[in-house]
Amino acid sequence: FLVGTVANSLGAGRCCFRSGRAVSTTNLFILNLGVADLSFIVCCVPFQATIYTLDGWVFGSLLCKAVHFLIFLTMHASSFTLAAVSLDRYLAIRYPLRSRELRTPRNALGAIGLIWGLSLLFSGPYLSYYRQSRLANLTVCHPAWSAPRRRAMDLCTFVFSYLLPLLVLGLTYARTLRSLWRAVDPGAAGSGARRAKRKVTRMIVVVAALFSLCWLPHHAIILCVWFGRFPLTRATYVLRILSH
């Protein structure tokens, strides 16, 4: 919680206060990513932690709906923003001159607006997905939908918030690396150019790997619940905690 809050705050602040430099599309997307991640950490993580530490839900019916809605809202926003960053980097490297008219701060802000609009669209149903109820003398926040509706919703969330963004990241970063390594003649380029290429390559691989690995456990468990076997045991309880 502390590491995520500090890291995202510093990242967002660095994008906001870059004195003497014009605002770039990449900085706007990174700022938006920091806002989405910070919103998730501050607004969702503390409440989510209580689900695994307290016997019941103590925050009321409104927060029962709002917290889970915000979880999926920020999750979609982060995924879509990462996909937008990968597309922005691909255009900047593959078409450095032709993409200048497209890669403007105004268009980036429009893309960010579209990202949040799509995030609202895909996460809106979660406002009714959960509800507060009394079960066995405990107040709990639990899914209110029928199993078929929940399965369909969770599958849509997996496809649109993880699978498709991961596909976009994979395709754009693969093409970016291909263009990057073809851009400079290895015989004419100095060691500095090769070092720069290796640095960008490492950054791209790390970003794509972190996205896929960090969200994979969460989605894998959800898919196992619906399409496999996931009994409620102490071991699976620990796995659920670690997946968050």
Name the range with the highest mean pLDDT among 14-18, 28-32, 164-168, 181-185: 164-168
pLDDT for position 119: 97
Mean pLDDT of 198-222: 78
Least confident of 124-133, 151-160, 190-199, 211-220: 190-199
Mean pLDDT of 149-155: 94
pLDDT for position 15: 54
Look at 121 and 24; give whichever has higher pLDDT: 121
Structure tokens at 182: 């073809």
pLDDT for position 126: 94
What integer best gives the mean pLDDT of the chain?
Answer: 81
Give me the CATH number covering residue 185.
1.20.1070.10
pLDDT for position 4: 47
CA distances from 183 to 85, 86, 87, 88, 203 (A): 20, 18, 18, 17, 18
Per-residue confidence band for 45, with pLDDT thresholds at 50, 70 and 90: confident
Q: What whole-number percentage of the chain has pLDDT above 90?
A: 35
- Structural domain for 181, as ranges: 2-243
Per-residue confidence band for 26, with pLDDT thresholds at 50, 70 and 90: confident
Distance CA 61, CA 74 (A): 20
Beta bridge partners of 143: 130
Q: DSSP characters for 64-82?
A: HHHHHHHHHHHHHHHHHHH
Residue 197 has pLDDT above 70, yes or no: no
Per-residue confidence band for 195, with pLDDT thresholds at 50, 70 and 90: low
Residue 32 has pLDDT above 60, yes or no: yes
SS3 content of the chain, % helix, strand, coil (to 5): 75, 5, 20
Look at 108 and 188; give whichever has higher pLDDT: 108
pLDDT for position 218: 84
105-139 pLDDT, tens digit per residue, is 999 999 999 999 999 999 999 999 999 998 888 89
Domain count, the chain: 1
Look at 244 and 222; give whichever has higher pLDDT: 222
pLDDT for position 179: 80
Residue 52 has pLDDT above 60, yes or no: yes
Residue 36 has pLDDT above 50, yes or no: yes
- Tell the residue number behind the tokens 């209110």, with chain if given: 144
76-86 pLDDT, tens digit per residue, is 999 999 999 98
Please give the model's pTM, rounded to 2 decimal places: 0.83
